[in-house]
Amino acid sequence: MDHVDILIVGAGIAGLRALYSLRGAGFDVRVAEASDELGGVWNHNRYPGARCDVESYDYSYSFSSELEQEWTWTERYPRQPEILSYLNHVADRFDLRKDITFNARATSADYDEEAARWNVAFEDGSRLSCRRLILCLGQLSAPKTPDYPGQERFRGETIVSAQWPRREIDFRGKRVGIIGTGSSGMQMTPVIAEVAERVTVFQRTANYSVPAANAPLTDEEIHEVKANYAARREMTRNSPTGLGFQPGKVRTLDVDPQEREKVFEAAYNRYGFGFALAYPDILLDPEANAVASEFLRRKIGERVNDPEVRAKLLPVTHGFGTRRPTVDSGYYEAFNRGNVELADIRATPIVEFTETGIRTAEKDYPLDFIIYATGFDALTGALLKPRITGRHGLTLKEKWARGPITQLGLGTAGFPNLLIVGGPGSPTVLSNVMVSTELQVDWLTDLMKTLRAEGIEEIEVSPEAEQAWNAHVAERVSETLYMTADSFYNGGEVKGKPRVFMPYSGGVRHYRRLLETCATGGYSGFELR
Ligand code: N01
């Protein structure tokens, strides 16, 4: 069996960054990547219109000022191919590929208590032993697909948005059905509608979306960002979300309606995702949330011509932001085209798939393509795919059967020398993941250096610490409105998944302080031996 000091699983944003930092610190480190390419979600989500809804310059690594200066983003919100080129550029620029093994899907990891090592097995039968195992498996990387009667009968092509084929797909003259109206469905709808003969969007839940106000970056904007990167980074790390804006200071209802309208209008037109921060209490106070939700419903309504379609597109099942809102480029306007229709499958559910399309309780939709833009088994899905067995034969799946439990999102008791980036219990999907990932990786790198310097064989989360952390995660979310809706944040939309709020809602800035306190306190909450 091959041996390595540190094995990182996953060569997405987190895995690449961890490789760069740990190798730079002199560790013997290797990355195992399931795909034949790096990039994680940006490798797999190649659907038309895929782009990031965080601004390009904020969705970039901060570890090298040379890299910051030499890479020039072209748009405010970068498209998937541009992000993938960026990640490839980073890999080439820092010679990361030589330590990545591609086509290496980890299927299991077993902790050998006597040797204090992890034995990792891969799909091709190979094995690797490592002292420390770092899981960088992504938050939204285990796609989930629907389960409708007759799916196998459909004779057209079925595509999963998060496993988009690499070949060119020609939608010209085709009838395309899109199931799902989260970010993926909303991003692809207007783009596919430009070429397809007909697009039918199958909507179960109307969602809130704010226009992206996307545009090519001007020379002045690029200059401004590059000249002030350090300050910008500091600002994002000190913000609640890792995004480039701070929340408003006054409470929503303490402002008179005309003034509030102006603030909402400005945030709506410029901020994209940051609309949620126009006032600090939009996700905390039901009345504030109701006012913001109403504003957005009005705005959505203004974008749709047909009154019947408009009524169906207005979100009414939940408050703005309690499920992940989206940032779109022309989603609602697409319904004003002659070739886009909305199938409201909450009112008239899908009954079955047929050989030629989808039958709902209302009618038959003949289709050539069906696209599942139906989301992910978020946060725990990818972590629980390999069979990970810690002390006393306990698997991670068994340990987390009633929901994930961690210390600071970084590890869990009974699984020594196993560390997680971007996992449950950290800001993860509630943040700009570039920022939260870099915070965690820098912290882990310092931890590894300390373990090496002090000759520490094992690090393991203490059971008391993880209980306390989970209680804190639950307490923080209880101050918010997040649990008022089922979402991928709380597992409520996956059958059989425990309904537990998984990310840490206390904000990036606070989380950063907690990481520092943990480290300066001798890695409190972890047992070092
Ligand atoms: O997935 P989603 P997504 N029958 O879970 C519907 C990131 N992302 O891939 O609401 C019919 O948001 C489901 O309906 P409902 C980003 O974090 C980022 O779109 O459960 N419909 C919902 O409408 C994003 O939030 C970018 O009733 C079914 C949709 O499918 C996250 O990934 C771009 C169904 C799933 O929406 C996920 O986005 C894209 C069924 N059986 C994605 N099952 C960026 O820009 C589910 N649905 C960075």
Report pLDDT digits (tens) over 329-385. 999 999 999 999 999 999 999 999 999 999 999 999 999 999 999 999 999 999 999
Q: 291-313 burial, b if ≥16 CB within 10 A, otherwise e?
A: bbbebbbebbeebbeeeebbebb
Whether 412 shows a pLDDT value over 90: the answer reads yes
Please give the distance, rounded to the nearest whole angstrom, from the Cα atom of residue 71 to the centre of ligand 1: 31
Whether 245 shows a pLDDT value over 80: the answer reads no
**Whose CA is closest to 482, among 424, 430, 436?**
430
Distances (CA, A) of 300 to 230, 293, 295, 441: 37, 10, 9, 39
Please give the distance, rounded to the nearest whole angstrom, from the Cα atom of residue 27 to the centre of ligand 1: 38
Kindly provide the residue ranges of all beta strands, DSSP E only, lying in 262-395, ordered along the sequence: 326-328, 340-344, 350-353, 357-360, 364-366, 369-372, 387-389
Residue 425 to residue 354: CA distance in whole angstroms: 42
Residue 191 to residue 186: CA distance in whole angstroms: 9
Q: What are phi and psi of 310, to 5 degrees?
A: -55, -50
What one-letter code names the amino acid at 421? V
Q: Which two tokens stand for residue 243?
A: 């995004």
Interval 352-362: pLDDT, tens: 999 999 999 99
Whether 428 shows a pLDDT value over 90: the answer reads yes
What is the distance of C-alpha 438 from the center of its chain?
A: 15
Residue 198 to residue 192: CA distance in whole angstroms: 9
Which atom belonging to ligand 1 lies closest to the Cα atom of 204?
27
Which atom belonging to ligand 1 lies closest to the Cα atom of 488?
5
* Residue 287 CB coordination number (10 Å): 11
ipTM exceeds 0.85: yes
Average pLDDT over residues 406-430: 98
Q: Which two tokens stand for residue 495?
A: 């059958």
Whether 112 shows a pLDDT value over 80: the answer reads yes
Protein residue closest via CA to atom 46 of ligand 1:
374
pLDDT on residue 272: 83
Protein residue closest via CA to atom 1 of ligand 1:
375
Sign of the alpha-carbon torsion through 490, 494, 495, 497:
negative
Please give the distance, rounded to the nearest whole angstrom, from the Cα atom of residue 346 to the centre of ligand 1: 15
Please give the distance, rounded to the nearest whole angstrom, from the Cα atom of residue 487 to the centre of ligand 1: 10
- Within 8 A by CB and 6+ apart from 452, the residues are 27
* Residue 169 CB coordination number (10 Å): 16
Structural element, H or E, at residue 29: strand 29-32
Protein residue closest via CA to atom 45 of ligand 1:
52
Residue 34 to residue 42: CA distance in whole angstroms: 14
Residue 485 to residue 462: CA distance in whole angstroms: 32
Q: What sections of 405-432 are H helices per DSSP? A: none
Please give the distance, rounded to the nearest whole angstrom, from the Cα atom of residue 343 to the centre of ligand 1: 16
pLDDT on residue 328: 95
Residue 133 to residue 483: CA distance in whole angstroms: 32
User: What's the 3-state SS for 359-376?
Assistant: EECCCEEECCEEEECCCE
Residue ranges lining ligand 1, Cβ < 6 Å: 51-53, 140, 146, 179-185, 187, 204-205, 324, 345, 373-376, 429, 488, 493
Protein residue closest via CA to atom 16 of ligand 1:
183
pTM exceeds 0.95, yes or no: yes
Whether 1 shows a pLDDT value over 90: the answer reads no
Which atom belonging to ligand 1 lies closest to the Cα atom of 52?
45
Q: Do residues 30 and 126 make contact, with C-beta atoms less than 8 angstroms apart? A: no
Please give the distance, rounded to the nearest whole angstrom, from the Cα atom of residue 488 to the centre of ligand 1: 8
Q: Do residues 154 and 146 make contact, with C-beta atoms less than 8 angstroms apart? A: no
Interval 289-306: pLDDT, tens: 999 999 999 999 999 999
What one-letter code names the amino acid at 143? P
* Residue 236 CB coordination number (10 Å): 25
Residue 143 to residue 330: CA distance in whole angstroms: 25
Please give the distance, rounded to the nearest whole angstrom, from the Cα atom of residue 146 to the centre of ligand 1: 12
What is the distance of C-alpha 192 from the center of its chain?
A: 23
pLDDT on residue 244: 76
pLDDT on residue 297: 98
Protein residue closest via CA to atom 6 of ligand 1:
180
Average pLDDT over residues 93-102: 98
Protein residue closest via CA to atom 20 of ligand 1:
493
Protein residue closest via CA to atom 17 of ligand 1:
429
Band of pLDDT at residue 247, cut at 50, 70 and 90:
confident
Q: Do residues 435 and 232 make contact, with C-beta atoms less than 8 angstroms apart? A: no
Band of pLDDT at residue 321, cut at 50, 70 and 90:
very high
For strands 418-420 and 127-135, give the pairing.
parallel
Average pLDDT over residues 206-211: 96
Please give the distance, rounded to the nearest whole angstrom, from the Cα atom of residue 493 to the centre of ligand 1: 10
Whether 449 shows a pLDDT value over 90: the answer reads yes
Q: What is the DSSP letter of 288?
A: H
Residue 188 to residue 64: CA distance in whole angstroms: 33
pLDDT on residue 270: 83
Please give the distance, rounded to the nearest whole angstrom, from the Cα atom of residue 414 to the centre of ligand 1: 33
Please give the distance, rounded to the nearest whole angstrom, from the Cα atom of residue 501 to the centre of ligand 1: 17
Which atom belonging to ligand 1 lies closest to the Cα atom of 147?
41
Crossing angle for the helix pair 433-453 and 508-520, to the nearest 10 degrees:
0
Share the mean pLDDT of the chain: 97
Whether 209 shows a pLDDT value over 90: the answer reads yes
For strands 100-101 and 29-32, give the pairing.
parallel
Residue 4 to residue 168: CA distance in whole angstroms: 39
Kindly provide the residue ranges of all beta strands, DSSP E only, lying in 105-162, ordered along the sequence: 106-112, 117-122, 127-135, 157-160
pLDDT on residue 408: 98
How many Å is the Cα radius of gyration of the chain? 23
Candidates 140, 313, 495: which one to mutate for ligand 1, based on the most atoms within 8 Å of Cβ?
140
What percent of the chain clears pLDDT 90, i.e. is strictly above it? 97
Q: Which two tokens stand for residue 450?
A: 């300390």
**Whose CA is closest to 206, among 50, 318, 321?**
318
